[in-house]
Amino acid sequence: MTTSLAMPSAAELLPLLPELVLIGGAFALLIVDLFISARHKVFTHFLSVLLLAVVLAMLATGTGGQGTVMNGMFVRDAAADVMKMAIVLMSGLTLVYGWSYLRERNLFQGEVPVLVLFATAGMMMLVSAGSLVMVYLGLELLALSSYALVALDRDNGRATEAAMKYIVLGSLASGLLLYGMSLVYGATGTLQLDGINAAIATTHERTLLLTGTVFMVAGVAFKLGAAPFHMWLPDVYQGATAPIALFVSSAPKLAAFGMAWRLLEVGVGPLAEEWKWLLAGLAAVSLVIGNLMAVAQSNIKRMLAYSTVSHIGFLLMGLAGGDERGYAAALFYAIAYALMSTAAFGAIIALSRQGFEAENIDDFKGLNARNPWMAGLVLCIMASLAGVPPFLGFWTKLAVLAAAVQGGMLWLALLGVVCAVIGAFYYLRVIKVMYFDEPVGGPLPAHNDRVLGIVLGVNSLALLVLPLGLNRLLEWCQQAFM
């Protein structure tokens, strides 16, 4: 069967306007950067942040409107807009946090913000995918940009090794996902996600369809960082520079959640009784492995990597719970975790100096005696990640646990409670060394980047303030799936 593709009019492309502005701006900045001297690279950086702010405003005001483009390949709906706003915000925070750090180490190049912009465009296409083709296009645009960002410090052997592991394992995961997509296409005869959903009821190739779904779940699990597909996370987090680790740990997790929802619910939704048990199993393994491995870490970036695995377990718990309440809880968790992870790596950036990286837990010893304000911010971050009330992390865990119980997975919810208690140990250990251990070294020198200090303060205190509007936040996430 052939389909004629007519050139869409400008009016029909309006739902794509935020993506078009972002990609057009990224190409323009790539050209402009050629004519900017090394001393004035801040100009490229500032324009990149401004471009992301414009795109965020377009999404928040609904510029272009919702709808489908390119014969249903691109879908802009409420869920896509919510995820895109969070993704663009995290990308902007990456550039704000990273400027002074990269400049001090002579790592800042014009390609850095441009790669972040292209990765953001890939994530936006990923969460708006209405076709398997668009899923893969957005995924690879994100992946290729991320590989280059991780390899940013070419003179650092650890960063180069991390990038090589990332690209090899990422290519394997992309192959698994693509193979699963090909099997689903073979079973249903269509690449459109809504078409796959409708064809499942009549297809006679159920074994082929289920096999393809398993491979797609494996690919999604890798992109999320779920166990046992998590082996790339610790090396990438530790090997990449802190701002790039911040980026990899935040916005792409939201995009991977959006990809999971599009493929599993919108695409193979009628097979939910089968794939939700796969997600439940991945959630259980991620909770156990992530927390147990994090306890043994002395490097805080590796600790955050393994804790990411455990947080992905909670996110998958919400997805496995099914229905709109479970998806809303998982989306709420993904956004909140991105905020918490951004703040955690932002604190590492703020405490690091030229020649000194605050990467070990021992580097935080006696922080309260040296810098009480910074110690208070790190306290907010770690308490929220640990799920201590009344911080944001507590309410997100409560939401996904409730979704699991409502979805008939009481055993998974109970495992989540036990693992949350284990996870509190390694977060509280950081708080303990800050407040009860003797300081190591002299007073921390004042940081010259006031913008970084202000953004970190707002980001960290938001973890305490946002729960005041908890009902509104949950309602916002629920409306995305109505």
Whose tokens are 């902007």? That residue is 92
The per-residue pLDDT for 1 is 41
Contact predicate 217/293, CB 8 Å: no
The per-residue pLDDT for 2 is 42
The per-residue pLDDT for 40 is 76
Q: What percent of the chain stands above pLDDT 90?
A: 69
Residue 40: burial class (beta carbons within 10 Å; 0-12, 13-18, 19+): exposed
The Cα 190–Cα 332 span in angstroms is 32
The Cα 382–Cα 435 span in angstroms is 13
What length is written for the chain? 482
pLDDT in tens, 306-318: 999 999 999 999 9
Residue 34 DSSP code? G
The per-residue pLDDT for 420 is 93
pLDDT in tens, 102-160: 888 877 777 889 999 999 999 999 999 999 999 999 999 999 999 999 998 888 888 88
Amino acid residing at 154: R
Read off the pLDDT of each residue in 331-352 and give the average, rounded to a whole number.
94
Most distant CA atoms of the chain, gap in Å: 73
Amino acid residing at 242: A
The per-residue pLDDT for 455 is 93
Of residues 442 and 89, more confidence is placed in 89
* DSSP letters for 149-189: HHT--TT-HHHHHHHHHHHHHHHHHHHHHHHHHHHHHHHHS
The per-residue pLDDT for 156 is 83
* DSSP letters for 7-32: PPPTTTTGGGHHHHHHHHHHHHHHHH
The Cα 471–Cα 438 span in angstroms is 42
- Work out the mean pLDDT of the chain and round it to a whole number: 90
Identify the bridge partners of residue 360 per DSSP, sorted by sequence position.
299
pLDDT in tens, 244-292: 999 999 999 999 999 999 999 999 999 988 899 999 999 999 999 999 9
The per-residue pLDDT for 442 is 60
Q: Across 19-125, where does the E strand assignment appear?
A: 67-69, 74-76
Residues contacting 255, CB < 8 A, separation 6+: 83, 87, 122, 123, 126, 127, 138, 142
Residues contacting 84, CB < 8 A, separation 6+: 18, 59, 123, 124, 127, 128
Query: What φ, ψ does residue 437 adopt, rounded to 5°?
Result: -95, 155
Contact predicate 217/276, CB 8 Å: no
